[in-house]
């Protein structure tokens, strides 16, 4: 019986959840960071090849940028939920 009580006390005093949540969010933020870089690299390359298509490429670039950043925002919300 005393081992169970000690295990419960140890589980209450050591909470790795906040640290693991921070590491998880840091790793999860790598994907959107790479995605944003690839999106705007493609917009710059496309504009260099066809300057007349710049406005259309920028519109598509910003739309996909927003979708990619939503992933990072969802990740930070999940981080705050996990660390609470």
Residue 61: how many CB atoms within 10 A of its CB?
19
Range of the domain at 27: 15-83
8 against 71, higher pLDDT: 71
Q: What CA–CA distances, in Å, run from 47 to 13, 38, 52, 53, 59?
A: 56, 14, 8, 7, 12
pLDDT in tens, 52-62: 999 999 999 99
Residue 64 lies in a domain: yes
Residue 9 lies in a domain: no
Residue 50 lies in a domain: yes
44 against 6, higher pLDDT: 44
Per mean pLDDT, which range of 12-16, 31-35, 37-41 is the poorest? 12-16
Work out how many domains the chain is built from and give that number.
1
Residue 7 lies in a domain: no
Residue 22 lies in a domain: yes
Residue 2 lies in a domain: no
Any idea what the CATH number is for the domain that residue 44 is in?
1.20.20.10
């Amino acid at each position: 019986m005393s081992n169970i009580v000690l295990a419960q006390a140890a589980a209450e005093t050591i909470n790795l959840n906040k640290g693991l949540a921070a590491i998880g969010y840091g790793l999860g933020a790598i994907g959107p960071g790479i995605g944003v870089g690839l999106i705007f690299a493609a917009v710059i390359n496309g504009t260099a090849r066809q300057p007349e298509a710049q406005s259309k490429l920028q519109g598509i670039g910003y739309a996909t940028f927003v979708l990619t950043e939503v992933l990072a925002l969802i990740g930070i919300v999940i981080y705050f939920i996990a660390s609470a």
